Amino acid sequence: MVDDATLIRRIQAGDRHAFQWLIKSHERLVYGVVWKIVRNQADAEDISQEVFLKVHEKLGTFHHESRLSTWIAKIAYNQALSHLRKRDILQHSVDVEDEAFRERITGEGTLPTESLENKELKRIVHDAIEQLPLPYRTLIDLFHIQEMSYAEIVEISGFPEGTVKSYLFRGRKLLKDAIRSHKHLID
């Protein structure tokens, strides 16, 4: 693994393998951020490609004030929002989902040794997250799935830290309420 500064220098020097490595190491993050906003697989794939083109184009403007992954996630977040604004569908909700998408977001597929209850609980939580309104869904994903800090989420979203914490609190409450009807799987 190469540090961010070395990776950027190699990419700027024309090293295609370095840029491919950057894409490979950040594609799940980018796709996850974009998907949580646009909720359409084809759009998410297109926007993810646009994100990496923009990353390559703007790499010289990265000043190491944050982690490279945070900077890339911010570009993904902004590209996805820009896409929605262009299409004037900020509250767009599409229920496009398949197992390949789940595996792409969560990393590996489910293990055959997982109990049926565990799989069902994961599905219920995933479905509940997908039903959250846009800001809650995105911030829950950034904090709990992508494991980003408050500072990173503030930088990516542009929301003040208090707003981020408030949205996370309300988002968790909405999740608890949605999951409460499936209490038998939690006990």
Record the tokens describing residue 125, joined without a space. 């939580």
pLDDT level of residue 34 (50, 70, 90 thresholds): very high
**pLDDT (tens digit per residue) in 133-171:** 988 988 988 888 888 899 999 988 999 999 999 999 999
**What integer pLDDT is reported at residue 99 of this predicted model?**
45
What is the model's pLDDT at position 106? 47
Q: State the CATH class of domain 1-99.
A: mainly alpha
Domain boundaries, the chain: 1-99, 110-187
Check residue 117 and give its pLDDT.
63
pLDDT-above-90 percentage for the chain:
42
Residue 112 has pLDDT above 60, yes or no: no
Among 84-98, 100-114, 166-180, the range with the most confident prediction by mean pLDDT is 166-180
Q: How many other CB atoms are found less than 10 A from the CB of residue 124? A: 17
In which region does residue 147 sit, left (phi positive, over 0), alpha (psi from -120 to 50) or beta (all else)?
Answer: left
Half-sphere exposure of 148 (CA within 13 A, CB side): 31
What is the CA angle 48-54-55, rounded to 5? 90
Over 50: is that where the pLDDT of 86 sits?
A: yes
What pLDDT, on a 0 to 100 scale, did the predictor assign at position 55?
A: 95
pLDDT higher than threshold 90 for residue 18? yes
> How many C-beta atoms surround the C-beta of residue 40 within 10 A?
19
Residue 175 token pair: 């999740």
In percent, the amount of the chain with pLDDT more than 70 equals 79
Tell me: pLDDT of 116 over 80: no
- Domain with residues 110-187, CATH architecture: Orthogonal Bundle (1.10)
Position 70 confidence tier, pLDDT thresholds 50, 70, 90 = very high
Phi, psi of 108, rounded to the nearest 5 degrees: -85, 160
Q: What is the pLDDT of residue 91?
A: 37
Higher pLDDT, 87 or 35: 35
The pLDDT score that the predictor gives to residue 59 is 92
